[in-house]
Amino acid sequence: MHATAPLFRPAGAAYLVIIAAGLFAELGVRMPLTVAGDPTATWANVAAKLPLFRLGLAADAVMILADVALAVLLYAIFRATQPQVALAAMALRLVQAAIIGASLLASLAAVLLVARGTPAPDTLALLMEVHAQGYDFGLIFFGANTLLTVWLACRSGLFPAWLAALLGGAGIVYLVGSFTALLAPGINALIQPAYGLPVIAETAFALMLLRGARQVAVPA
């Protein structure tokens, strides 16, 4: 048994929490409440379902807590493979968590704004856009983290090659998606369907951790 085998299942559980909480906050809360190009309708939706909006913010906070735990667990799993690379991967994941956490302040401000009851749809739309852009910016660092994790996974021999390939594709999607969101929003809109790949790759990684990674041949 690999020395860090007891860490696999907690890491997998943390990863599933990240995926579930993140998808709930984005797909279950923000996207249904947001009406593109119509701040007034968005305001009405958020005002009508403010408790749900608060719940989405709480889910984001849970996601970040789980992300910090996962960063430490993956470092512990991979440090025997290459400690400097494992440390860099952990640092990048923590930077991502910090940036996304900071972007949640915009969502918190949106909650306070709506709770005051004085309509300000344009301000609400701006705050929600700040959150979205902050999230995308954080994913630049997560994309880099993912590529380092792929290298560590390949060198460790703990995970199959097909999983590394999926994660590598996910890292590229995150980097291209986040940089185009920053520099070329028109192109970014065209690649949104590609974000399905990271969901598949990260879910597969989480499930592989949950079942307990098996030792396979380490490349020379």
Residue pLDDT, tens place only, 120-141: 999 999 999 999 999 999 999 9
Residue pLDDT, tens place only, 57-116: 999 999 999 999 999 999 999 999 999 999 999 999 999 999 999 999 999 999 999 999
201: Cβ–Cβ under 8 A, 6 or more apart, which residues? 163, 166, 167, 169, 170
Distance of CA 137 to the CA centre of its chain: 11
- Calpha distance 147→15 (Å, rounded): 17
Ramachandran quadrant class, 34 (left: phi over 0; alpha: psi -120 to 50; beta: rest):
beta
Q: What's the pLDDT band for 4 if we cut at 50, 70, 90?
A: confident
CB of 60 closer than 8 Å to CB of 100: yes
Residue indicated by tokens 């309708």: 41
Residue pLDDT, tens place only, 169-196: 999 999 999 999 999 999 998 999 999 9
- Calpha distance 152→79 (Å, rounded): 9
Q: The whole model's pTM is what? A: 0.90
DSSP state letter for 159: S
- Would you mind telling me the total number of residues written for the chain in this entry? 220
pLDDT of residue 120: 95
